[in-house]
Amino acid sequence: MIDSLLALKDKAEASPILEKLGLCRRAGNNGRDRLIMRYALLTLHRPANVDNRDVFHNILAGLEELRKEWLVVFPVHPRTRGRIREFGFESCLKPSGPSDNGSARGSANYREGTLLIEPLGYLDFLCLMKHAAFVVTDSGGIQEETTILGIPCVTVRENTERPVTIESGTNTLGGTKADTIRDAIRRQLGREMKLSAPQYWDGQAAKRIIDTLARIHYERYPLRLPSPSLA
């Protein structure tokens, strides 16, 4: 997974997703510089989180404070979208447009609320994640990717099979209760992120796997060269 991310993260910059979503605007004389507004990225798809109405509602309640201050971009998994309709949660996830008073944070227009979008392909999503200021997720893979990218992340689960992301400080568990999620978000927003990749997260995992397989193969089946001809 990290091999793929490191191999493609520069290519992902060519994605037009930020412009399509109105998250940046061109600036400068050449029009190539991008001013990117501050936003958080949210993903939810695990059945334990979205199939249970009470748990899903608690998670959304835990995000309410964040949504009042930030724009939260939410690529919605098909399972999750179905549950939003089934549980009547549309009112909890109202999309938001540019602020009426033109207030700004930094050089970008400031917005708040939730922007629901369709699921994205890998390069579009990677571009969106790279430029996010904050991530809330229940995805194991995104916990790893935000660690490599140095983006603060809150995982809305009670445990994680990626403890190294917790040790690195980029990720923290928020649980699935509203108060614990709010507390975790506040802690992560106040923490200074330090980019420190775990050992072997260097984009060379595939090469090491191939080298190991080749070594084991030739230890078991040594290459025997033909005897030189006596003719």
149 pLDDT above the threshold of 80: yes
Contact criterion met (CB below 8 Å) for 126 and 149: no
Neighbours of 7 (CB within 10 A): 11
104 pLDDT above the threshold of 60: no
Domain boundaries, the chain: 2-203
Token match 């090469």: residue? 207
4 pLDDT above the threshold of 90: yes
Mean pLDDT of the chain: 87
d(CA 9, CA 133): 16
Burial class (CB in 10 A: 0-12, 13-18, 19+), 192: exposed
Q: Give residue 204's identity as a one-letter amino acid code.
A: Q
Catalytic residue, candidates 45, 57, 77, 217: 45
**Strand 108-109 with 104-105, pairing:** antiparallel
Contact criterion met (CB below 8 Å) for 172 and 183: no
d(CA 109, CA 39): 11
Active site residue 45: yes
Beta strands per DSSP E along 18-140? 24-27, 33-36, 39-43, 71-75, 104-105, 108-109, 113-117, 134-137
Q: Give residue 172's identity as a one-letter amino acid code.
A: T
Q: Where residue 192 falls among pLDDT bands split at 50, 70, 90? A: confident
Over residues 99-110, the mean pLDDT reads 37
Least Cα distance to 176 among 157, 162, 161 occurs for 157
Given CATH 3.40.50.1000, say whether it is the number of domain 2-203.
no
Over residues 62-78, the mean pLDDT reads 95
- Model-wide pTM > 0.75: yes
19 pLDDT above the threshold of 50: yes
Q: What pLDDT shows up at residue 29?
A: 59
Over residues 157-180, the mean pLDDT reads 94
Q: What pLDDT shows up at residue 221?
A: 84
d(CA 214, CA 59): 47
Q: Where residue 96 falls among pLDDT bands split at 50, 70, 90? A: low
Q: What pLDDT shows up at residue 114?
A: 93
2-16, 107-121, 138-152, 188-202: least confident range? 107-121
Q: Where residue 105 falls among pLDDT bands split at 50, 70, 90? A: very low
Tokens coding 92: 């909890």
Q: Where residue 218 falls among pLDDT bands split at 50, 70, 90? A: confident
204 pLDDT above the threshold of 50: yes
